[in-house]
Amino acid sequence: MKNAKLPAILVGLSVVGVLGFLAFGSMGDNLVYYWSPSELRAAADGGAGGMVRLGGLVKAGSVRVEGTKTVFTVEDHGASVEVRTAAIPPQMFREGIGVVVEGSLGPDGVFESKRLLVKHDENYKAPTDGNLSQDQTRSLEGD
């Protein structure tokens, strides 16, 4: 009967451990999942150097490729930040979509990022005029 309790105690302890880690570890120093460009700009010097997540919309016409890196501008209503990332953009990446990038603001004012995540908004629409968007065309081509 004592032995039958051991798995339960182990599960209980791991749960307490993971909850503690969640409460004090991963979220402890930074309760905000990402900063908007305005918030990063408002932090001024504070924004430079530290590892943060930056979230906003990819500015139309700003996406270009520099060697192996993708460069684009992330904007919100008030501010914009230029981002350079070595990450391979997820399939849904496009101009106007929400993104979250992880990295830090360099001394040259460009946000250097190793990680690029794409947000999906809460709208679900059928393809207009019966055609799929460019993303789908790209995926069909195996890109």
Partner 1 sequence: MTRNLLITGALAVLLQVGGMVAGLTLSPPEQHMSDLVRIMFVHVPVAWAAMATFTVTLVAAIGWLSTRRWGWDHLLDASLEVGVVLGVLLSVQGSVWGYPTWGTWWTWDPRLTSVAVMVLSFLGILALRAFVDDPDKRASWSAAASILAWGSVPFTYFCVKVMNSLHQKQTPWGAMAPEMLRVLLLNTGTVTILTLWMLVARYRLARVELQRELDT
135 part of the interface to partner 1, by CB under 8 A: yes
Structure tokens that stand for 76 in this block:
């919100």
Q: What is the CA radius of gyration of the chain?
A: 20
Residues whose CB is less than 8 angstroms from the CB of residue 116 and which lie 6 or more positions away in sequence, other chains included:
70, 85, 87, 88, 89, 90, 93, 99, 100, 101
Give yes or no for a contact between 87 and 115, defined as CB atoms under 8 angstroms apart.
yes
Which of 37, 47, 55, 103 touches partner 1 (CB under 8 A)? 55
Measured from the CB atom, is 7 or 107 closer to partner 1?
7
Which residues inside 33-52 make contact with partner 1, applying CB under 8 A?
A: 33-36
- Nearest alpha-carbon partner for 140 in 91, 101, 96: 91
Measured from the CB atom, is 55 or 73 closer to partner 1?
55
Q: Mark residues 65-104: x for contact with partner 1 by CB under 8 A, - for none.
A: ----------------------x-xxxx-x--x--x----
Structure tokens that stand for 45 in this block:
């010097």
User: If you ran DSSP here, which 8-state letter would residue 45 be given?
Assistant: G
Which span sits near partner 1 by CB under 8 A: 65-73, 78-86, 105-113, 135-143? 135-143
Structure tokens that stand for 90 in this block:
């997820």
12 part of the interface to partner 1, by CB under 8 A: yes
- Judged by the rule CB under 8 A, the positions of this chain that interact with partner 1 are 5, 7-9, 11-12, 15-16, 18-19, 22, 26-27, 32-36, 55, 87, 89-92, 94, 97, 100, 116-128, 132-133, 135-136, 139
